Amino acid sequence: MILAWPLRIVEVHGPSMVPALRHGDRLVVWLRRPRRMPKVGTVVVVELPDRPLAVKRLAAVDGDRVRLEGDNEFASTDSRTLGALPSTAVRGRVLLRLWPRPGRVPKPVRP
């Protein structure tokens, strides 16, 4: 039996999560579909349609559908353009930022 360890190190690509996360940040993620949906505001790893895995913030949960948003609304492909996604699109959650500024991922700054 082969056991796959669900902890992974993932590198952020692109500006969609600025200012909380920047291009090149390395994250520790729990890459396994959650049994329970994380709280709104949690940074998650998601499977977007016709795109590779992405890091987004969980904006809303409505039954079997979720809304995901990047913190940088002007440079993010997310539910603002794609609409709500099935909850199965959430593949895992970000535990912490490993490098270059170790620690928790900050909450979004909203005006």
23 with 99: CB under 8 angstroms? no
For residues 89-100, give the mean pLDDT: 94
Burial class (CB in 10 A: 0-12, 13-18, 19+), 76: buried
Average pLDDT over residues 56-78: 94
As a whole-number percent, the residues of the chain with pLDDT over 70 amount to 95
Q: What is the pLDDT of residue 108?
A: 74
Domain ranges of the chain: 7-99
Q: What is the mean pLDDT of the chain?
A: 90
Q: Is the pLDDT of residue 1 over 60?
A: no
Supply the pTM of this predicted model.
0.88
Residue 76 reports pLDDT greater than 90: yes
7-99: CATH, from 3.40.50.620, 3.20.20.140, 2.10.109.10, 3.40.630.30: 2.10.109.10
At 77-90, the pLDDT tens digits run 999 999 999 999 99
110 pLDDT tier (thresholds 50, 70, 90): low
Identify each DSSP E strand in the chain by its residue range: 7-11, 26-30, 43-47, 53-62, 65-69, 85-86, 90-99
Question: 107 in helix, strand or coil?
Answer: coil
Whole-angstrom Cα distance, residue 110 to residue 30? 27
